[in-house]
């Protein structure tokens, strides 16, 4: 089973929580066990499972990646000035796979699913959700 969701992003770099729409897709599927793959389309964004308690960890992720991969010094910047976004997305990766346990995402209390935007703001970021249900 597969669907896609879209979000808009309002800043150049940030983490955007998509846990609720992913959980809603799992709920509507009726799957009680299996896995769901969450994949963001685009070469300058990623998917990350991270703490959801407050924004501090999310902000720290952006700060760390900005210190490790500063903007404005990459060969690709000559094309469209977003070499750092490509490198950040490559390190984070475009997907995560989460188990489905008793009809719910198998995340712990402090985990949520985030789209990592590195080249925003964007009107649309498409995220593909692929659910594989295990046999009953």
Tens digit of pLDDT at every position of the chain (136 positions):
999 999 999 999 999 999 999 999 999 999 999 999 999 999 999 999 999 999 999 999 999 999 999 999 999 999 999 999 999 999 999 999 999 999 999 999 999 999 999 999 999 999 999 999 996 6
- Give the domain ranges of the chain: 2-133
Question: pTM for this one?
Answer: 0.95
Strands (E), 29-94: 33-40, 45-51
Measured over the CA atoms of residue 118, residue 119, residue 123 and residue 129, the dihedral's sign is negative
Q: What CATH topology corresponds to 2-133?
A: Jelly Rolls (2.60.120)
């Amino acid at each position: 089973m597969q669907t896609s969701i879209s979000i808009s992003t309002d800043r150049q770099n940030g983490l955007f929580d998509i846990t609720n729409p992913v959980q809603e897709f799992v709920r509507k599927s009726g799957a009680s066990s299996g896995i769901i793959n969450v994949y963001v389309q685009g070469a300058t964004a990623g998917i990350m499972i991270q703490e959801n308690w407050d924004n501090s960890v999310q902000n720290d992720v952006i700060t760390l990646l900005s210190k490790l991969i500063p903007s404005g010094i990459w060969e690709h910047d000559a094309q469209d000035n977003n070499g750092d976004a490509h490198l950040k997305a490559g390190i984070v990766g475009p997907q995560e796979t989460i188990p489905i346990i008793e009809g719910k995402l198998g995340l712990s209390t402090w985990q949520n699913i985030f789209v990592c935007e590195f080249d925003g703001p964007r009107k649309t970021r498409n995220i593909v959700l692929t659910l594989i249900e295990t046999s009953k």
